[in-house]
Amino acid sequence: MTVTLVMLCTVSGPRRKLRESEEPLLPNTGSSSHLLGGDREHGHGALKKISDFQVTLTLTFRTLLIVAAVLVFAAILGTFAYPSRTTLPETSKSPPPNVGLDLAGNHTVGRLPFMGYNTWNAYYCDISEEKVLNTAKLMKSHGLIDVGYDHMNLDDCYSEKERSPSGDIVANKERFPSGMKHLTNELHKLGLKAGIYSDSGWFTCQLYPGSFLNEARDIKLFQDWGFDLLKYDNCAVPFDEVIREGMIGKYTRMANAIADLAKLSGKQPMLFSLCQWGREQPWIWARRLGQTWRTTEDIAANWPSLSSIINKNSFISWASDFYGHNDMDILEVGNGDLTYDEAKSHFTAWALMKSPLLISTDLSKISKETLEILTNREIIAINQDPVVGTAITPFRWGVNRYWTNNATHPAQYWSGESQNGTVFMLLNVLDHPADMYFNLTESFWIRAGRQYSVRDLWTHTDNGTAIRNFTAYQVPAHGVVALLLKDAGDEPAEWNKDR
C-alpha cells in the first residue's frame, strides 16, 4: 500500500526573470493544471507563479506506522516526564500584570532600590534562625538599619528537601526550630522587612523544592509566614519544548500569583525580585512583572567580576528608574581579596547605577573600613534619591572608543542627574594610578558658561569651583572618584574675554 501526498509550497524572497533557455521550476505534467483548476499555458491559476511548486511524496504503509509510533511515544514521554504539559493553570495564560500596582493603578512597592542583607554570599547554605537573628541585631548595632538597610533576606536552603503531605514547603526544623512566623516577627520588631527565596523551576539551585506549578500555594504560604519580598531564581526550569511558556511565562506565573493574592487579601503585593541572570534581556520585559531583575551571572569577590558587571550594565543603565531597577547582584564588599579602593569602586558603581544594595558579609567580623564604605550616607543618598530615579550613564569610555564592549576595561567617565546637582563617577580601570580629566560639558547635565561647586562624596569635603573642566590626579588603580557638582552661577568675566 502506498499513499501519495501533494504539497503546495510558496517560496518567499525576491523573484528573478527566467532566461529564454531556462525552464520554469514546474513539473511538466498535464495533471498539474488539472489539480489546481488552472491553465498553465494561458496563465490561469496558481501554477503561473514560478514561486509556487508542487512536491509529490510517496510513503509506504511501513513508513506511516513508524512515524505514528514515534509520535505516540513522544506524547507519552511528554505526559509522564512533564505532567505540567496538561496541568498548567489558567493563570499562566493571562496577560503579564505589573505586580507593583494596586487596584487603583497606583504603584505600591519598590519605588526605590531596596537595601538590606542577603544570606547567600556570607553563609551559602549554612543558615539558621540563630545566624539570621544575630545578623539582624548586628545590622542594628552597626547603624546599618539607620542608613537604609531595611531588609533581611533569606536565600536558598532554608527548607526541608520535601514538601509536606499537603503540598506545602516546610521550614527546616533543625535550623529554624521556632518556625518562619516567629522569625519574621522578630525581624519586624527590629525594624526590618523580611525576604524569602524560591525558584521558577521544579527545584531551587540547591535542590530544595521550587515553586513551579505551586506558585499560588507558595506565595500564600510566604505571606502567611510574614515575608515582604520574594527573590525568584532560575534553576531546574522545565523544558520549554514541553510546557510551551518561554522564560517570560515562567516568571509571569509567579507575578500573576502575587497580584492575585494582593487583590484577594487586600494587602500590598510582595516585592518581586527576578533572578533570571540576565540571559533573556529582562531589562526589556521584567518591569511588567516585578521591581528588580538580575542583569548578569553571579558576582564574585574579585575585580574581573566587578569590572565585567559594570561593563554589562553600562549599556543598559537606561532601564533603571522608579519602580524598576537593574539588579547588579549582591554586594561583595567585605569579602574575598578586594582592595579598599576596589571595594569603594564596587559600592559606588552599584549605588549610583541604582542597583539594590544587599550586604552579604559576616557582620561579626566586619572591619572599620568596610563599615565606612557601606554606611557612606552621601553615596546612599544618590541611590535613594526620591526625586530622580534614573541611573548614571557613561559620557566617555576613556581608554576605549565610545560604546566599546570590554569586560576588563569598562567605561570610565559617568554622570547623571540628582535632586541636588550633577553626579560624576570617574572609574580608573587601569592597573596603576592615573590622572583623569574631562570637560564639564561632556556631561549631558552641565550647562556651558556656568561654574560649578565641587563636593567629593568620599572625602566628604567641598573642593572649590570647577570652570569648564576638571582633573582628578592620581586616582588609585581600580579606584574611584565620586563628585556632586552644583551650579554656582555664571563663569567669571575673565573666562569670557575670548568671546
Catalytic machinery residues: 233, 298
> Which three-class secondary structure state does DSSP give residue 234?
coil
**Which amino acid type is present at position 226?**
G
Q: CA dist 219 to 110, 187, 229, Å?
A: 18, 19, 10
Helix (H) or strand (E) holding 271: strand 271-274
Spatial CA neighbour of 294 closest among 247, 339, 340, 261: 247
Within its chain, how far is the Cα of 281 from the centroid? 8
Q: CA dist 87 to 130, 219, 333, Å?
A: 40, 19, 45
Cell of 212: 513551579
Helix (H) or strand (E) holding 77: helix 61-81
Spatial CA neighbour of 159 closest among 148, 170, 168: 170
User: Cell 520535601, residue?
Assistant: 162
Distance CA 363, CA 376 (A): 17
Distance CA 350, CA 313 (A): 10
Which strands sit side by side in the sheet containing 480-490, from one edge to the other? 393-396, 413-418, 421-427, 480-490, 450-456, 461-467
Distance CA 113, CA 140 (A): 20
Residues in the chain: 499
Cell of 284: 526589556
User: Cell 523544592, residue?
Assistant: 209
Distance CA 441, CA 42 (A): 71
Cell of 228: 515582604
How crowded is residue 63: how many other Cβ atoms within 10 Å of its Cβ? Answer: 13
Helix (H) or strand (E) holding 252: helix 246-265
